Structure 1
Amino acid sequence: MLKLGILVAVAVFLETVSATSLGVVDTDGGKVQGKNIRLGYRRHMDVFRGIPFADIPGRFEKPKRHPGWDGVLKATEYRNRCIQVNLLMTDTRGSEDCLYLNIWVPHGRSVSTGLPVMVWIFGGGFLAGGSMGINFLENYLYNGQEIADRGDVIVVTMNYRVGALGFLSTGESDLPGNYGLWDQHAAIGWVNRNIRSFGGDSERITVFGESAGGASVNFQTLSPHNKGLFKRAISQSGVALCPWAINKNPRRFAEEVAIKVNCPTDEKMAPCLKMTDPAVLTLAGSLSISSSPDQPLVFNLALSPVIDGDFIPDDPSKLFNNMADIDYMAGVNDMDGHLFTGLDVPTINSPLVKTPIEDVKRLLAAYTKDQGKAGADNAYSTYTSNWGSKPSWETIKKTVVEIGTDYIFLVPIQAALYLHAANAKTGRTYSYLFSEPSRMGGIARPYPSWMGADHADDLQYVFGKPFSSPLGYWPRHRKVSGYIIAYWTNFAKTGDPNKGGQSVPTPWPQFTSTGHQYVEIHHDMNKAYVREKMRMRHVHFWTSILPNLPISASE
């Protein structure tokens, strides 16, 4: 017994002294050292927090390379997020000195080399968010440890400028906008140049993100400035074609902000805005959350990217040839629109109050306003065709969520997949629907029992929360999290979610211009979860029928 104890002690000692670690790493800005953590027998991970990928940005300017530092930078603390409004929009948080990234590098028996790299772009409506996401007792949402460890990939998360300082634009060269997209591009460029020193393969970089981060991923694939910087991309619940992803009239909002901060709206506007206190500017650019079926919340998202003739040279729908050689995966949550329509039409969340059919009509009229009465009438008949003469309360409420999901997310994402498949040369296309029911459904009061996956419900599974916080989840949640991590990291390794060393519950076919196949991701998925032509009738309505409806002269 004593002998065994000594052997165990020796084994533990040997593993401790030979802990696999990168130690001090050379980057093009200087030397950095992270923190090495032990994950299990012969499994370690190096975590680098707060590495600068660009200099402190000038106000409304593109990011510049970091001038570098002497000695060894201790990269052990997360850095501030970029300046933004707080949750209640009453104050600001964060800093202008915010262009930092974090890296997770897993090691087995020896120090890793040649690992695929996954670069995360957070969402938050281009208004808020940070490289680490929300944090509860040091449990950060975007902690890359579980994906890195389970999928054997390097994970990188980054900050970028949001709100007025990230996206305010006059539509002219004096304030061109898209500074946040340039920051993302600078971070991707930094990863491409430096990740080899961290054991990564610069030829296998996948950019992935959700919501505004998913749209950002798509913008990065479409921009000519990223040629050759990464190989693959995953957009979750957001693409460049979403109605909220491009601001077609940036000048109007810039003038509104200028008036709020006492700046003129003539040629002196841009110089005055550049001189304004950043916190005042940020608050002036905050979002109005009051909404109604006539003025849906999605139309309030005014601080988004713009077609600037530079980073985004043209309408995004015309730029898909730029991603012909990029493997692309995109998808949607089955009730992605609930978060928005629950604010526009609050009765959908109440089991005791009927949702008036008038509200359904008003919401559709707002979404189809460019097509006038013919648009609203056609939309209404499309969405109520299976109602019968006496639709139940639940049917009406679910229809409102379907309308929001289709308009805000699902239809534009399907359109992006069609365009990618049609323009692809070597790039492969994959489509998914995430349908694991919200954990809030039926228990927490604001959520009805019929809830599917709401907006952002996928994030906890992508980042492996059911494994890192097991007490908050059931076994089925660990199953779905394992499936997503396997598909995502296989895709990062090989461009095929089925191949890459992680076993998957069902083969996921490519989405092609002829066979519009997708996989539905759910905890009990099997071969029957491969489907095709996602909501084809509704996609056809929004993309083909609606735009071609005649508008009457009186309108």
Structure 2
Amino acid sequence: MNVTSMVVLQLILAVAVLSSASFRQQDLYPVVRTQYGRVKGMRFDLSNDSLKPVVKFLGIPYGTKPERFRYADRPSSWTGVKNSTVPGPSCPQRVEFADIDKSPASVRRTLNTMRPFLTKMSEDCLYLNVYYPANAQGDPNNLPVMVYVHGGYYAQGAGTMYDGSALASEGDVVVVTFNFRIGILGFLSTGENNAPGNYGLSDQLLALEWVKKNIKFFNGDPDRITVFGENTGAASITLLTLSPKSTGLFKSAIVQSGSSLATWGMTQEPWHYATVLAHKVDCCTSNFSRMVECLRRKPLDVLLSAYVQPAGPQYFSSFGPVVDGDIVPDTPLNLMSKPSDVLRQFQDIGLLMGVNEDEGYAYIEGYKNIDKGVSREDFTAAILDFVNKVFPYRENEIQDAISFIYTNWGEKESNATRRAGLIRMFTEQQVGVPLVSVANYHARVSPSTRTFLYTFNHKPQYSPFPDWVGSVQNEELPFVFGAPLGGGGVFAQTNFTKSEAMLSTAIITYWTNFAKTGDPNAPRKQKTRFIHMRPNKYEDLVWNNYTIADQDYMYLGMKPRVRQGYRSQRVAFWTDLIPKLIRPQAVLKGDSSSDLIDLCKGLDVGRGILLKDGLTSLDKTVPTQADRSLPSTCVPVDKTLPTGLTRPKVDVPPNWFDSVNNNKQERRSYSTELSVVIAVGTSLFFVNIVVFAVCYHRKDKKRQHCPSVEGKYRLKDLVSHELESKTCAKTRNNPQMV
């Protein structure tokens, strides 16, 4: 071989090596062109050899840096290639790491896992992350898309905390996580145009719009988008399903342990919390517009250091979604029950929803000596505190009813049984019943069989929580994201067993099937993929859709099964009985016989409890724009609020009113008002005597025609009679109901 031939051969080899290196570089760091510019991602192998490699793009902007208390805009275009191999900053939030050792176990666990993801925070935080399998089965260029909305009580969290790699790889889907504004920056509202609120919801809509328009560049199918989330992320999703602004942005929703119908799902009277915040940071002015401008100019750390919370922070949200007439046009209850375009949209969206076994543990874990149980006195005090904050108008009746239904009458009462009763109460009232109510509304109106319900009942082997509690809040999340299979993110340091890897695979199969077809049973069948678990207990199970008649739900755990009627007796207690105790009695509008008979029935408490009139919740008045356009005194007194609305109790220093209204000449005099109150009260007393006499006379006349219950029921007897009647009726219709 001559010199010339050798040179040519070397040149050919050099070109081949360079081409191979270039191809390898493109394979490891793929570049994708979006509508706004090119982004560079990264391909990587997972620690589990059975999982396919994944390509991820981190920190892609889906919106511009938002102005405070205003909606964000779409992102600006850029030139060149944006490096999307590192996540963007998290949205600002108040996180107390200093006293972490004094916090309850679940709080310590959450803060410790969150810490690495909150080292960088900025108001320029609207970034998302995309994960897709490198070698997907089926059509690799048209994969279903799952968009995760993180929880955190509208105050904490970030999309970057959740690594979608294992879920994308095992389920053959595209996974998207994203940050959105939370807390004061995400939800402060005055009820006026100067600060309408719902900026966090607006960010979620903006992220979904980006996904709809750009996910095809990441092998995703824009016509098969499913949103899923837990806690307040789930509550946000139920609002998105009812928002006219979300039309066409997603096809299905998975709602985990949250609902906008919960007491904490939305904020009532947001202008009150805005004025409390303004007082704390020295922004009190004569009207809301100037107050909001002052808040916009305040340094970020000043706003975050101002702690504003309702009297029952575990039951309410001081800065959360509000009815704004735009993104949230009405209360969720009205939107789910009244015919409209929004209701038709709600009908067309598939819903898969569920609750964990012991969500209520988070409400009691901070109690002193909780490991020893709950004494009778503490049990009564806990229920009284709950009732005073959530049902402040009929405390005695409701407290007695709750104490009765959550006392374990079937065995010897003890500190342990009372503790279990409180966990059941908080699980059901705060999470389970609001979620089941949404399922009922959806199953009632949905034209197709696309409503599915589950309970998650597995306590992880290495759970940090006590032995006496079951699956607590958020413990299903690592199984959804595939942490037992080798997933990372916030669950990277958690240990799992081989059996839990099987459970995670089963759950991923259900979740991704639902994203693909709207049916958790298809197209992928549950199969035995683990030699040590043969056969797979999920193989022969069919997850039936949830209907009003059958109320089927999937019991997810190591011993899965299909059950009927999620805690049906106590659900009936909250949806049928409690509304009758808290509903204001009808006002006599005339002297007709029917009006008088209705009033008599209303005054008969026992018979009023047993009468069923169908409503499951009290309607809340939605203020009009005219109602809300009121000047701000920066003092949360009733004269600054729209009529027809009530205020939750707020923890305000006792001397606050005096410090703000330091002009004695401007202070109100209560002597005249007190006289009026006494006069009105006396008049009502005599009216009640007259009404009682008339009612007694009519009841005596009608006794021979209207058979009544002999003897006087105590309240707990009435509760027991009502619930036993409902349960027996349902059992007769459906003997398998649990």
Same fold (TM over 0.5): yes
Note the residue ranges of structure 1 that are not aligned, 5 or more in a row: 1-12, 134-141, 289-294
Query: Residue type of the partner of 2:335?
Result: L
Match of 2:44 among 27, 31, 37: 37
Letter in 2 for 1:112: P
- The residue aligned with 1:544 is 576
Q: Deviations over 1:14-52 (max 9, x none)?
A: 9x9598679321111111110012355994321100000
Q: Could you report, residue by residue, the CA deviation over 1:227-261 in whole angstroms, capped at 9, with x for unpaired residues? A: 01110001111011111011111111111100011
Please tell me whether residue 216 in structure 1 is matched to residue 236 in structure 2. yes
How many residues end up aligned between the 2 structures?
A: 519
Point out the structure with the larger strand share.
1
* Cα separation, partners in 2 of 1:346 and 1:317, compared to 1, 3 Å: farther
SS at match of 2:348: coil
Which range moves more in the overlay, 49-58 or 460-469? 460-469
Alpha carbons 2:449, 2:545 under 8 Å: kept: no
Q: What are the superposed Cα offsets for residues 403-452 of structure 1, whole Å, 9 maximum, x if unpaired?
A: 111111001000011111122134711111001125466xx5xx432211
Q: Does 2:196 match 1:176?
A: yes
Amino acid aligned to 1:86: V
Question: Alignment partner of 1:146: what SS?
Answer: helix
Q: Report the Cα distance in structure 2 between the residues aligned to 1:325 and 1:483, rounded to whole angstroms.
A: 26
The alpha carbon displacement at 1:127 in A equals: 0.4
Sort the Cα spacing of 1:74 and 1:131 in 2 relative to 1 into closer, same or farther, 3 A.
same
CA distance in 2, matches of 1:450, 1:42: 35
**Looking at CA atoms only, which structure, 1 or 2, has the larger radius of gyration?**
2
Partner-residue secondary structure (3-state), 1:319: helix
Is the 2:356–2:473 Cα contact (8 Å) retained in structure 1?
yes
Kindly state the Cα deviation for residue 318 of structure 1 after the two structures are TM-superposed. Answer: 1.9
Given that 1:21 and 1:107 are in contact with CA atoms closer than 8 Å, whether structure 2 keeps it comes out as no
The secondary structure found in structure 2 opposite 1:165 is helix
d(CA) in 1 for partners of 2:119, 2:276:
19
CA distance in 2, matches of 1:460, 1:163: 25
Computed over aligned residues only, the root mean square deviation of the Cα atoms, in angstroms, reads 2.8
Partner residue of 1:124 out of 152, 164, 168? 152
**Aligned equivalents of 1:42 and 1:460: distance in 2?**
16
Structure 1 residues 87-124: Cα deviation after superposition (integer angstroms, max 9, x where no partner): 34899961101000000010227992000000001110
The SS at the match of 2:359 is coil
State whether structure 2 residue 330 is matched by structure 1 residue 308. no
Q: Aligned with 1:384: secondary structure? A: coil
Q: Supply the distance in 2 between the matched residues of 1:204 and 1:109 (Cα, whole angstroms).
A: 16
SS at match of 1:420: helix
- How far the C-alpha of 1:537 sits from its partner, in A, is 1.5
The percentage of aligned residue pairs carrying the same residue is 34
Q: Does 2:361 align with 1:342?
A: no
Distance 1:438 1:395, change over 3 A: farther
Q: Do the aligned partners of 2:243 and 2:329 also contact (CA within 8 Å) in 1?
A: yes
With over 3 angstroms needed to count, the CA separation of the structure-2 counterparts of 1:44 and 1:395, relative to structure 1, is same
Indicate the SS of the match to 1:238: coil
**Counterpart for residue 269 of structure 1:** 291
> 1:474: which partner in 2?
497
Q: Is the 8 A contact 1:374 1:551 kept in 2?
A: no
Is it true that 1:532 corresponds to 2:564 in the alignment?
yes
Alpha-carbon distance in structure 2 between the residues aligned to 1:223 and 1:23: 36
SS of the residue 1:36 aligns to:
strand
Counterpart Cα distance in 2 of 1:548 and 1:395? 28
Shift, 1:392, TM fit: 2.2
CA distance in 2, matches of 1:192, 1:89: 41
1:115 aligns with 2:143: yes
**3-state SS, counterpart of residue 160 of structure 2:** coil
* 1:371-382 alignment, distance < 5 Å: 371-382=394-405
Give secondary structure in 2 for the equivalent of 1:49: strand
Bigger mean CA offset, 332-341 vs 191-200: 332-341
Gap change, CA 1:353 and 1:480, over 3 Å in 2: farther
Give, in whole Å, the separation in 2 of the partners of 1:109 and 1:284. Answer: 48
1:156 maps to 176
In structure 1, what is the Cα distance between the partners aligned to 2:307 and 2:477?
27
Q: 2:421 aligns with which of 379, 391, 399?
A: 399
What is the CA distance between 1:220 and its match in structure 2? Answer: 1.2
Moved more, 208-217 or 300-309: 300-309
Residue among 133, 148, 153 paired with 1:106: 133
User: Equivalent of 2:548, from 496, 500, 513?
Assistant: 513
CA distance in 2 between counterparts of 1:149 and 1:489 reads: 11
Structure 1 stretch 202-211 or stretch 538-547: which is displaced more?
538-547
CA contact (8 A) 2:354 2:435 kept: yes
Which letter does structure 2 place at the counterpart of 1:77?
V
Which of the numbers 469, 485, 495 marks the counterpart of 2:518?
495
**CA–CA distance in structure 2, aligned partners of residues 241 and 89 of structure 1:** 34
Contact between 1:207 and 1:233, CA under 8 Å: does it hold in 2? yes
CA shift, 1:354, in A, is 7.8
Q: Distance in 1 between matches of 2:95 and 2:386?
A: 31
Structure 2 residue ranges without an equivalent (≥5) = 1-19, 100-117, 337-342, 487-491, 528-537, 586-602, 604-680, 685-738
Contact 1:259 1:265 in 2 (8 A): no
Q: Does 1:333 align with 2:333?
A: no
Change (3 A) 1:143 1:287: farther
In the aligned structure 2, how far is the partner of 1:96 from the partner of 1:325? 36
In 2, Cα distance between equivalents of 1:41 and 1:548: 56
| Offset of residue 346 of structure 1 | 3.8
Q: Residues of 1 paired with 2:306 and 2:335: CA distance?
A: 33
Q: Which amino acid aligns with 1:511?
A: Y
Q: Please state which structure has a larger fraction of its residues in helix.
A: 2
Cα distance change of structure 1 residues 520 and 215 upon mapping to structure 2, 3 Å threshold: same
Judged with a 3 Å threshold, the aligned counterparts in structure 2 of structure 1 residues 428 and 350 are, in CA distance, closer, same or farther, namely same
The C-alpha deviation readout for 1:294-319, integer Å capped at 9, x for no partner, is x6442353111111111000001122
Q: Is contact 2:462–2:496 with CA below 8 Å preserved after alignment?
A: no
Deviation at 1:353, TM superposition (A): 7.5
Aligned to 1:541, the other structure's residue is in SS state: helix
**Are the counterparts in 2 of residues 364 and 403 from structure 1 also a CA contact under 8 Å?**
no
Work out whether residues 86 and 93 of structure 1, in 8 Å CA contact, stay in contact via their aligned partners in 2.
Answer: no
